[in-house]
Homo-oligomer: A and B are copies of this chain.
């Protein structure tokens, strides 16, 4: 059994297959933004179960798949745990400054929402 045909090998776009449109779409959702924010904050791959998200397990799986297929996160198995890592190197090489600007924008929005008491969804 090769890695390519393993049922546990997950598809990832190569760096040059990542598109800006796909990345922006992947980031255009509050749950996915919170995942990316947490991965950036922790600075290391995290298992899906690390995240305390206000959605069902299957919806969580969906969100991680969208992020993976857009090239925003890498997913791999360590034992039975699926680990998720931010593809910062790829994103920064392709779109310098974009990820940092989005992360700063999430922070700014969260700050405004806590100040006004608006739910952050």
* Interface set of A (CB-CB < 8 Å, partner B): 16, 19-22, 24-25, 27-30, 33, 94-98, 100-102, 104-106, 108-109, 112, 116
Chain B residue with the shortest CB-CB distance to A91: B105
Nearest Cβ on chain B to A118's Cβ, whole angstroms: 9
Task: Please state the number of chain copies in the assembly.
Answer: 2
Chain B residue with the shortest CB-CB distance to A106: B20
Chain B residue with the shortest CB-CB distance to A105: B95
Contact: B104 with A96, CB < 8 Å? yes
Complexed CA–CA distance, A95 and B101 (Å): 8
Nearest Cβ on chain B to A49's Cβ, whole angstroms: 25
Complexed CA–CA distance, A19 and B30 (Å): 10
With contact pairs A21-B28, A21-B33, A24-B24 given, residues A98 and B109 touching in the complex (Cβ less than 8 Å) = no
